[in-house]
Structure 1
Amino acid sequence: MPHKRAKHSDRVAKRFSLGQDLAPGANDGFFSEMPKGAMRILQGAKVQEAHRAKLEARKKAEQDALTRAKGKAKASEASTSESNDKAGSELTIRPGEKLRDFNARVEQAMAGDVRASFRSATRSQINARKRERRKLRAAGIDPDADPEDLEQQETTRKAKADKAAALQASEPSKNDLKRQRQTIQQTGEIKDFAKASQVKKINDVAQAPPTLTRAPRGESVQAKTRKARLMAKITGNDEEEAERKVKQAEKARQKGRVPEKLAAANASATNSKKRKAASGNEAPAEPSMARQRVLDEERQKAIKAYRQIKEKKIQESEVKRAKRA
Structure 2
Amino acid sequence: MPHKKAKRTTRDRLRSETGTDLAPGKDSLRNEPIPKSAARVFNSQAVRDEFKLKKRKREEEGEQAAKKQKTGKITNNKSVALKIQPGESIQHFNRRVEDDLRPLVKTAVQTSRAVARSTAKAEHEARIEAKKARQSKSKAKEEEETPKKPQPVSPPPETDKFKDRQKEFQSVSSSAPRRLNDVAQAPPEFKKLLRGITSAIGKRDGVLSMAQKVMMEQEREKAIARYRDLKASMRKNGDLGDKDDE
User: Could you say which TM-score interval applies, normalised by the shorter chain?
Assistant: 0.3 to 0.5
* TM-score normalized with structure 2 length: 0.32
Select the structure with the greater relative contact order (CA < 8 A; seq sep ≥ 6).
2
Q: Which has the higher helix share?
A: 1
